[in-house]
Structure formats: structure tokens, C-alpha cells
Amino acid sequence: MSSGETVKIGLLGMGTVGGGVAQIIEDSGELLAGKTGARLLLERVLVRDPARGRTVELPPQTYTTDPDTVIKDPSIDVVVELMGGIEPARTLISTALQEGKHVVTANKDLMAQHGRELLQLARRCGRNIFYEASVGGGIPLIRPLKRCLVANRIERMIGIINGTTNYILTRMFLDDMDFQEALDKARELGFAEADPSSDLEGRDAAYKLTILAGIAFNCSLNPDDFPTRGITGVTRADIHYARELGYTIKLLAVAEEKPEGLALGVYPALVPLAHPLATVQDEFNAIFIKGDLIGEAMFYGRGAGALPTASAVVADIIEVARSLQHGGAEGAPPNSNRKPTLLPPAALTSRFYVRLLARDRPGVFGALAAAFGEEEVSLDMIIQKRRQNGIAEIVLVTHDVNEERFNRSLQRVARLPAIEPDPSVFRVLA
Ligand SMILES: NC(=O)c1ccc[n+]([C@@H]2O[C@H](COP(=O)([O-])OP(=O)(O)OC[C@H]3O[C@@H](n4cnc5c(N)ncnc54)[C@H](OP(=O)(O)O)[C@@H]3O)[C@@H](O)[C@H]2O)c1
């Protein structure tokens, strides 16, 4: 540390999360100094527009639009990147490490796509990158996985790790809203961004799963390594039927170690109402972990927002302060280069929910059952409801079936003349 116990921080970005960090330092700086022996000081703050009003007032000379005055300032101990996006964040973090700074970031897009390269650079520079806030906002996840659970072989991880989609699905389930109404409500309350496509299409959850599963299964992953499906295809009708069958629908990020390899995916699924993840509502997040030693554990809390996310960022800054207090840089822990065997979805087994429309003719039901039966897909539950104009809605849930075989049975169903195209299909969590 540069002067006694003071940790000088260079902040790259002071929007929602950066404002939260400044707020915590202003409100709780004394408390933190008492608890940790580290006095945090915001020395320099990079923004696009220094004239813009901020939630916390800092001396005007603190702000800069020149990144070099932050990352190359020799008095700065830690660079905290809260700008978001890939560039210029990636270049600025790399330069900061080469300049001998430790780095804290909340940037999941960057850590999911370039985390390995940045961690390797940090190691070469004898510096560290902490990124607790990149997954689960204020919920401690990365440090518990890296440290507290390190003795466990993680068998399974199922997360609700996107607050926007969980808010939308909760409103559809509890308030009978359709998708658009729920999205509008999420926007009104600030739970959805102006362009929510990364959340709705599951990409945000895929980035977070890449980071978490890489740590939990000690391997190197890429967001393109596994299938990702978002929630835009979830309709009010599916939510109604799910409820009738004793389920809700959630966007899940799933990683499971099987004897043959690692199964990963992000997809909406029916979750039994009795499952702990079914009770995770609104913008909350939760990660359900099964380890060979601890058994089942669930981490729950606010996955986003200025103060919850800033809470994790400040904890990372304190972690840097501690490593500096104990003799300086420890260097980033080795990051696994192990490429796991990834199981293709076709090889996986699951139960499936199918909702389809059929022209209400004699024999349709029998033909449907035969199409599934010919592929040895056995059915667990069936609901049939008559709709207008001679159309019937049929909902069925299969027993566990290999996905490849299930898809073949769906192709047979699609060839039946009385069946309308494009059924709704979701996995069902056991
Ligand atoms: N918001 C959350 O709840 C949340 C939760 C978890 C993780 N995160 C992650 O935290 C990071 C920050 O998110 P946020 O919501 O705080 O973002 P934000 O509100 O959009 O703030 C971004 C900040 O970075 C500055 N900035 C952006 N590009 C810049 C550039 N090229 N040069 C200089 N300054 C630049 C902006 O300056 P101006 O203020 O002058 O425009 C602003 O202060 C992201 O990686 C995000 O994924 C956010």
C-alpha cells in the first residue's frame, strides 16, 4: 500500500455499480477501516462525461477522461473496472496489470470470454484479478467455490442467475401477465435494460455459467461450448399448464459432472413447486450446488443492483488490501486450462413438457401416443382441452428419455396430419 493503511483506488466507470462503490466508501469507510485496517480512497475516476451529475459528490479533479491518468498513476494500488463491455475494458485491465496494479472487475462478459487470458497475464505480472461481483451480484459465490468448497467434488450446479428473466417469469406466474406486460413492468422498475436481449436470450446467464462452472469443475470453458436458450418462447399458456401440473417455469443455468463428461446448458425449464429454486422470486438469484462432501447447499440473494453488486466489489478491494498488508502480490491462482469432455445435448436424459395443438378428430390421441411409443418415449402426464374451431390443446410430460430419441419422436408427431406445427417444448427438472 502506498501510504500506511490507505488503499488508493482508480475507478474505471462510475455508473450504477461505481456509484454504489463510492456510496459505500463514503458511508462506511470508517467502519471498513476498523474491521479491516484498510482505509479506501477513491483517487481517480474515469468517466465519459465528467460534467454529468453523480449520486456521490467527489472533488472535481478526481474525474478524468484519460485512462492513462488512472492505470499508469504509480500511486494507485488497485484498478476497479466498472465500465462494462469488452473494449476498452480488456485493454485497460491488461495495461493496468502490466503497470503493476491489482484489478477488481464486475464484468461478466469480459471474464466469460477473456477471463483465462487475463488471469494468465495477471499471474505473469505477479498480480491478481478479483471478480466476485461478475456473478450473482451481492451473493458470495466465487470465493466460496474457490475456497470454502474447494475440498468438494462438485457434482451438480443449478442456478437462477439472471434477475431480469426471473422477474418476468415471476410476474407471469404470480400475476398472470403475458410476456410483453411482464417485460414492460421490468423496464418500468429498472430490472430490464433498454436493450434486454442479452438477458432475454440467455446470453447473460451463459456468461455467468461459463465463469461459475469453470471454477466449480476446474476447467476452461467458453460461452459457445454449450446450448443457450432464453425465455422469449415462454407463453402465458405454458405457465398455466405448468402450474396445473405442479410446476413453475424458471430460466436455469445447469452444469452437471457425469461419468462420461460435463453437461452444460442454459434453458427455461419446468421446476417442481416443492423444489427450493421454485421459491426464488422476482429479481432474486439462487445457486443450488451439490458437492460430494457437503451434499446440497443453496446460495440466495440479490443478483444485481448498485449496492448489492458494490458490496461484492468492495469486498474484493479489501481482499487486495489484505494481500498487500501481508507482503504484497500473491499472484493470481493458476487458472485451469483443462478442456473438459462436453456432452452434446442429444446424449442427455431428461423429462420433457410438450404443448401442441391438434385438430380435434377421432384417432388423434391414439396416433400421438403411437408416435411417442414407436420411439419408446413413455408419457407420464397428459392434459387435453378443447379450444374453439375444432382445435384441441394437448399437453404431455414424458418420463426420463434420451434427448435424441425424444427429438425423433417429435419429428414423428410433426408428420401427423392433424397436428399443428411448432409445439412448445421445455425440459422438466427432476
Ligand atoms: N448494474 C448492475 O446491477 C450490475 C450487476 C452485476 C454486474 N454488473 C457489471 O458491472 C459493470 C458496470 O455496470 P453498470 O450498471 O454500473 O454500468 P453503467 O451504469 O452503464 O456505468 C458505466 C460507467 O462507465 C463509464 N464508461 C463506459 N464506457 C466508458 C469509456 N469508453 N470511457 C470512459 N468511461 C466509460 C460511464 O461513464 P459516464 O457515467 O460518463 O457515462 C459510466 O460511469 C458491467 O460490467 C456490468 O455487467 C452490473
> Which neighbouring-strand residues pair with 299?
287
pLDDT surpassing 80 at residue 268: yes
Tell me which of 11, 14, 17 to substitute to probe ligand 1's pocket, judged by most ligand atoms within 8 Å of the beta carbon. 17
Average pLDDT over residues 1-26: 89
Strand 391-398 and strand 349-359: the pairing is antiparallel
Residues 6+ positions from 124 with CB-CB distance below 8 Å: none
Helix (H, G, I), strand (E, B) or coil at 357: strand
Cell numbers given for 218: 476446474
Q: Which of 269, 293, 325 is the last residue of a domain?
A: 325
Instruction: Give domain status of residue 337, yes or no.
Output: no
Tell me, in angstroms, the distance from the centre of ligand 1 to residue 231's CA: 25
DSSP 67-117: THHHHT-TT--EEEE-S-SSTTHHHHHHHHHHTT-EEEE--HHHHHHHHHH
In this structure, are 380 and 411 located in the same domain?
yes
User: Looking at the structure, do residues 17 and 93 belong to the same domain, yes or no?
Assistant: yes
> Domain for residue 420, yes or no?
yes
* Pairing relationship of beta strands 261-272 and 401-402 according to DSSP bridges: unpaired
Kindly report the protein residue whose alpha carbon is nearest to atom 41 of ligand 1: 48
Q: For residue 372, what is the domain's CATH number?
A: 3.30.70.260
The one catalytic residue in 101, 108, 208, 250 is: 208
Q: Tally helices (H) and strands (E) across the chain.
A: 13, 16
The residue range of the domain holding 256 is 142-302
The answer to whether residue 248 scores a pLDDT higher than 90 is: yes
pLDDT top residue among 406 and 430: 406
Q: In what order do the strands lie in the sheet with 63-64?
A: 63-64, 39-46, 6-12, 78-81, 102-105, 129-130
- With 0-12 CB in 10 A as exposed, 13-18 as middle and 19+ as buried, what is 425? middle
Q: Compare 124 and 326 and report the one with higher pLDDT.
A: 124
Residue to mutate, 107, 167, 309, ligand 1, most ligand atoms under 8 Å from C-beta: 309
**Which residue of 46, 83, 135, 166 sits with most ligand 1 atoms within 8 Å of its CB, as the best mutation to test the pocket?**
83
Q: Above pLDDT 90, what percent of the chain?
A: 90
Tell me, using a 6 A CB cutoff, whether residue 49 lines ligand 1. yes
Q: Is 223 in the pocket of ligand 1 (CB under 6 A)?
A: no
Domain end, chosen from 302, 334, 357, is at 302
For position 133, what pLDDT does the model report?
A: 97
Q: What is the pLDDT of residues 391-404, one digit of tens each?
A: 999 999 999 999 99
Same-domain status, 356 and 243: no
The set of cell numbers assigned to 420 is 399443428
Give 386's pLDDT tier (boundaries 50, 70, 90): confident
Ligand 1 atom closest to the CA of 107, numbered from 1: 45
For residue 333, name the pLDDT band (cuts at 50, 70, 90). low
How far apart are alpha carbons 78 and 81 in whole angstroms? 10
Whether 174 maps to a domain, the answer reads yes
pLDDT at 3: 43
Residues 197 and 277 in one domain: yes
**Where is the domain boundary, 278, 293, 325?**
325
Ligand 1 atom closest to the CA of 88, numbered from 1: 31
How large is the average pLDDT for residues 194-213?
Answer: 97
State mean pLDDT over 219-226.
Answer: 95
Q: Pairing between strand 295-302 and 284-291?
A: antiparallel
| Res 325: pLDDT | 81
In the block, which residue shows the cell 467502519?
31
CA neighbor of 399 nearest in space, from 374, 382, 413: 382
pLDDT digits (tens, 9 = 90+) for 276-288: 999 999 999 999 9
Q: Which of 71, 82, 86 has most ligand 1 atoms within 8 Å of its beta carbon, as the pocket-test mutant?
A: 82
Q: How confident is the model at residue 328 (pLDDT cuts 50, 70, 90)?
A: low
Q: Within this chain, do residues 209 and 271 fall inside the same structural domain, yes or no?
A: yes
In a domain, 331, yes or no: no
| Residue 274, in any domain of the structure | yes
* pLDDT one-digit tens code per residue, 288-317: 999 999 999 999 999 999 999 999 999 999
Kindly indicate the confidence band of residue 360, based on its pLDDT and cuts at 50, 70 and 90: confident
- Average pLDDT of span 28-40: 95
The band of 327, judged by pLDDT with boundaries at 50, 70 and 90, is low
- Of the candidates 399, 13, 428, 115, the one whose C-alpha atom is nearest the C-alpha of residue 242 is 428
What is the rounded distance in angstroms from the CA atom of residue 196 to the CA atom of residue 204? 10
DSSP code, position 332: P
29 pocket-lining for ligand 1 (C-beta < 6 Å): no
Q: How far is the CA of 84 from the centre of ligand 1 (A)?
A: 5
Alpha carbon nearest to ligand 1 atom 32, residue: 48
Verify that 314 and 385 share a domain, yes or no. Answer: no
**Judgement on whether residues 160 and 280 belong to the same structural domain of the protein:** yes
CB 52 near ligand 1, within 6 Å: yes
101 tagged catalytic: no
Tell me whether residue 336 is in a domain.
Answer: no
Check whether residue 187 and residue 262 sit in a common domain.
yes
Is residue 383 pLDDT above 50, yes or no?
Answer: yes
Q: Which three cell numbers stand for residue 55?
A: 449520486
- Cβ neighbour number for residue 137 with a 10 Å cutoff: 28
> Is residue 1 situated within a structural domain?
no
Q: Quick one: average pLDDT of 233-240?
A: 97
41 assigned to some structural domain = yes
Same domain? For 83 and 126 the reply is yes
Which CATH number goes with the domain that contains 108? 3.40.50.720
pLDDT beyond 50 at 2: no
Mean pLDDT computed over every residue of the chain? 94
* Cα 12 to ligand 1 centre (Å): 8
pLDDT given at position 184 = 97
How far is residue 407's CA from residue 326's CA, in Å, rounded to a whole number?
57
Q: Are 264 and 226 in contact (CB under 8 A)?
A: yes
Largest CA distance in the chain: 85
pLDDT for 324: 85
Q: Is 282 found in the same domain as 270? A: yes
Whether ligand 1 lies within 6 angstroms of the CB of 308 is answered as no
Question: Which residues have CB under 8 Å from 271's CB, separation 6+?
Answer: 247, 248, 249, 250, 252, 277, 278, 429
Number of domains in the chain: 3
Residue 4 in this model has a pLDDT that exceeds 80: no
Average of per-residue pLDDT across 40-60: 96
Q: Same domain for 150 and 286? A: yes
- CATH number for position 254: 3.30.360.10
The Cβ of residue 148 has, within 10 Å, a number of other Cβ atoms equal to: 12
Nearest ligand 1 atom to the CA of 16 is 16
Pairing of strands 63-64, 379-386: unpaired
Q: 108, 207 in Cβ contact below 8 A?
A: yes
Rounded Cα distance, 96 and 182, in Å:
42
What would the pLDDT profile of 83-135 be if each residue is shown by its tens digit? 999 999 999 999 999 999 999 999 999 999 999 999 999 999 999 999 999 99
Q: Are residues 45 and 100 in the same domain?
A: yes
Note whether 110 and 183 are within 8 A (CB).
no
Q: Which residue has the cell 488503499?
A: 7
Q: Whose CA is nearest to atom 4 of ligand 1?
A: 304
Q: Is 332 in the pocket of ligand 1 (CB under 6 A)?
A: no
